Amino acid sequence: MEAGKRARPAPTGPGHDARRRESHAIVAAWASFAVGLIFGLVALAGGPRPIAGDLSQPTVMVPAAGIAALVAATAFVLSTLLHRRDETAPMPPWQRTVSHVSTVALTLAFAAVTAMAVLTGGEILALGLRGLEAPAIGGALLTAIASSAGGWLAFQAGVELRTRELATLLFAYLTIGTVFAMITAADPRWWELHFSELGAGSGAWAFNGTVIVAGLLVATIGSYIGRDLHRWLGDARLRSIGAVVILFAVTGLALAGVGLFPLRDGPPGDGSLSGARLAHDIAAFGTLGLFAVTAVVVTLVMPGPPRAMLLTTVGAGVAMVANLLLWRPGEVYSTAGLEAIAVGIIFVWMTTLVRTLSACVPDASRPSARPTLLPRA
């Protein structure tokens, strides 16, 4: 051994931090697998049971979905505490409260997304493996795999969740939840009417629960967009930023109302407008109207505004009007077609928004210098 040999300094820098975060995520994935396996063996003890099917009967995927959801939520919380615990320390109380509320909402959202993904995957797997009944160890392994995937993704999100990933999560969840609702729909010809038909009859909880959680995600995305705008514009534009956050929150509340006020089954041909139907329609069309207002306001709040954002907002507005005209009076497609195209337009607009913010907004956290949101004397 050479005398006077210097000790090698510990590696530092962005590359080392990325490797460390990835190592933590891999450990979290294996830990989630182990927890899922243990809890799966306990929950699925007994004789073989079908992978999916009638929820009133014992199946593999119902307890698996619950276990995977708890694992994912726990992984997200632990990752947030490990990697972003000190991020809110220099913030004033109001800003810290907004951050904590958003974290709680995201924890619930990750649990719901994981559960719905497992249930949907179970239905698809059951269609391909008709008649298969899994023993306890087989069901526990499926639970462990689902828990590992959910825990790994949630842990990575807790490290640094950007608005772009959150928007992707929203539309992925809407897709997964709607597919599950379609697979389990009581009326196979629901598409001749509208998507809300999935929220009536047996199995309605799938669609209604999906849009309620989606409303929570929309409000949370608004909080993150407000965070990004504050990093970009600072305290001088807090009032405008607050208007954007409130509009997203109200839009999310309206979307959740679609599930909170579901359609009720009635006699065939009964066109009467009940109180529940009126509340449902107000929530559904109110969501579209509020998204339009929100799109205009957030575009105007952005400096410039950027050309791509301005053109996309105008194009989305024109496309939405054309969509409405093709529905009524054009009678080109049903309400289900109107809703599907509207969601697609919103997805294009929101993708442009979050990508524009990602390109323009600094990555570093920006604590506010305002101790309170109350107007200054």
Cβ atoms 129, 122 nearer than 8 A:
no
pLDDT of 367 over the 60 cut: yes
Give the pLDDT of residue 376.
64
Between 313 and 266, residue with greater pLDDT: 313
pLDDT of 14 over the 80 cut: no
Give the pLDDT of residue 354.
92
Cβ atoms 77, 155 nearer than 8 A:
no
Confidence of residue 375 (pLDDT cuts 50, 70, 90): low
pLDDT of 11 over the 90 cut: no
Average pLDDT over residues 311-319: 95
pLDDT of 244 over the 80 cut: yes
Give the pLDDT of residue 264.
66
Q: Report d(CA 325, CA 354) in Å as an integer.
A: 29
Give the pLDDT of residue 20.
85
pLDDT of 359 over the 60 cut: yes
Give the pLDDT of residue 186.
77
Nearest to 353, CA basis, from 169, 176, 228: 228
Between 217 and 14, residue with greater pLDDT: 217
pLDDT of 1 over the 60 cut: no
Mean pLDDT over the full length of the chain: 88
Confidence of residue 116 (pLDDT cuts 50, 70, 90): very high
Give the pLDDT of residue 185.
81
Q: Which amino acid is at 250?
A: V
Task: Render the burial of 193-209: b for 16+ CB within 10 Å, e for the rest.
Answer: ebbbbbbbeebbebbbb
How do strand 133-134 and strand 49-50 relate by DSSP bridges?
antiparallel
Average pLDDT over residues 198-220: 88
Average pLDDT over residues 337-360: 91
Cβ atoms 228, 298 nearer than 8 A:
no
Cβ atoms 141, 37 nearer than 8 A:
yes
Average pLDDT over residues 185-201: 79
Nearest to 135, CA basis, from 47, 37, 34, 33: 47
Give the pLDDT of residue 13.
52
Average pLDDT over residues 280-299: 93
Give the pLDDT of residue 277.
80
pLDDT per position as a tens digit, 37-90: 999 999 999 999 999 987 778 999 999 999 999 999 999 999 999 988 888 889
Give the pLDDT of residue 268.
43
pLDDT per position as a tens digit, 139-180: 999 999 999 999 999 999 998 788 888 888 888 898 898 888
Give the pLDDT of residue 178.
87
pLDDT of 210 over the 50 cut: yes
Average pLDDT over residues 257-286: 74
Separation of CA 347 from chain center: 13
Q: State which of 12-16, 86-90, 109-113, 190-194 shows the largest mean pLDDT.
A: 109-113
Give the pLDDT of residue 141.
97
Look at the pTM and tell me if it is higher than 0.75: yes
pLDDT of 195 over the 60 cut: yes
Percent of the chain with pLDDT over 90: 63
Q: Report d(CA 362, CA 366) in Å as an integer.
A: 9
Of 19-28, 135-144, 316-325, which gets the smallest average pLDDT? 19-28
